[in-house]
Amino acid sequence: MSPNQAPEAVTRRQPSLLYAPLDMRHLKQLTDASGIIQHGHYSIPNRRTGYCVDDNARALLVALEHHRRTLDPESLRLASTYLSFIRYAQISGGQFHNFAAYDQSFLDDVGSEDCQGRAIWALGVASAAGFAPPTITEAANHLFEEAARHIPKLISPRARSYAMLGLEHHIERSDSATPARDLAADHGERMLTLLKRHSAPGWNWFEPVLAYANAILPLGLISAARICEEPKLAEVALSALDFLMEVTIQDGVLQPVGNNGWYRMGRRRARFDQQVIDAADMVLACLAAHRWSWREQYLEAAKTSFEWFFGRNVHGLPLYDPASGGCCDGLTPRGVNQNQGAESIVCYLLAHMAYIPDTM
């Protein structure tokens, strides 16, 4: 049986919407002394795929939040491991490599813009983590200051949106919020320009295509609105999120745009493969929209998106695996992709931590 196939007996199972407790086992299983390994072969680490900053940055967010909740020293050790990998990947001048082989040799000259944005997000959060020791926060702050110089040069709206998430946290430790406000205002203007350029009747979006990690765009704009205290930006973000919800939540079920073709304006949308990152980002964006507006529709959409992991999806199959504590890599036309890689577990855990209160 290939990782993309679901046994006939499994596909007949009814959705189980019992939320699993927070479980760090699979994150630890994928993590070695260097960092988190990029992919899994079923539930075991696929060491041939090496490491990437994309995953180690988000794993740093998970480890820090787990430490904040539990004061577990093991989580702090994990955070140190991920932060160390990010430091290793930082190039002179502040940018980052992304991909490294298992022998820790880098496979690129410089990482993608998304990689830069995700690193800035994680470092901004880590720099302001008052519950963590200065050995973590000061190291993160040093790396952040080097990396943040490149925010104005970022072109990708996703990369800039990730950077806004980090910037929003970093200003908590800054003496002056003026540079952050300027960066956030510039990001807002750019996003408004993109929306004006690409919007059409029935298409209220920043690009002519719905691709991957779509909900990060309104989420980053909400962060920019908070930073520069501009409600107009948040209302634009909510309007775009409403459009995304209309497209992807159908009959009470989240149906993320599939990565096998995406959804271009005026064309048929791809239903598969549905990716974990899209469900997780919808949870984060809808919760942020609810915190801004207190509109109940966003809390309900966050619930719908979170339950995608537990079987409220087009196949009625859970992606969370209680045997490993891992999360499967997505939904294919035939069922669940049984591989359990780093992006899936870190995105699932970020969604879980955002949606489930500390007390649960």
Structure tokens at 185: 């205002």
Rounded Cα distance between 221 and 186, Å, is: 11
Beta strand extents in 17-62 (DSSP E only): 37-41, 44-52
| 329-339 per-position pLDDT tens digit | 999 999 999 99
Question: What residue segments make up the domains of the chain, in order of their start?
Answer: 18-192+203-355
Sign of CA dihedral 52, 263, 240, 291: negative
Q: What is the 3-state composition of the chain as percent helix, strand, coil, each rounded to the nearest 5?
A: 55, 10, 35
Task: Report CA-CA distances (Å) from 32 to 28, 61, 97.
Answer: 8, 17, 19
Rounded Cα distance between 132 and 193, Å, is: 39
| 59-105 per-position pLDDT tens digit | 999 999 999 999 999 999 999 999 999 999 999 999 999 999 999 99
The alpha carbon of 196 is separated from its chain's Cα centroid by a whole number of angstroms, namely: 26
Note the CATH architecture for domain 18-192+203-355. Alpha/alpha barrel (1.50)
| 163-177 per-position pLDDT tens digit | 999 999 999 887 666
The alpha carbon of 252 is separated from its chain's Cα centroid by a whole number of angstroms, namely: 23
- pTM score of the predicted model: 0.94
Query: Is residue 50 within 8 Å of 350, Cβ to Cβ?
Result: no
